[in-house]
Amino acid sequence: MKLLISIHNEHIENIKKGHKKFEFRKVIGRQFNENEIYFYATYPTSKVVGVAKIKKVHIDKPSVIWDIAKNFSGVDKEFYYSYYHNKKLQ
């Protein structure tokens, strides 16, 4: 299965530089394992800019995921936790 996700340009740049190796989503994605993911850069780029193979999907509380991904998250801790603020976990 091929998936298309939109990502802000700043995160695309962090992926290119190797600072971001994890993508965070609020929807559980078990079905994403072993699939290709296409990156669509948002405005002003507005096009597909890359593709990657998903190696593993981590599903857990945000605090556990942060401990796993923080060194290659491409974002700081404050940004990460604001993304999950008020998100009910399934």
Q: What is the per-residue pLDDT across 30-77, written as a single tens digit (0 to 9) for each?
A: 677 668 889 999 999 999 999 998 888 898 899 999 999 999 999 999
Please state whether 34 falls in left (phi above 0), alpha (psi between -120 and 50) or beta: left
Domains of the chain with bracketed CATH: 2-84 (2.30.130)
For residue 70, the 8-state DSSP code is G
Residue 30 confidence (pLDDT): 61
Task: Extract the tokens encoding 81.
Answer: 């936790």
| Strand pairing report for 2-7 and 47-53 | unpaired
Q: What is the pTM of this model?
A: 0.80
Residue 34 confidence (pLDDT): 67
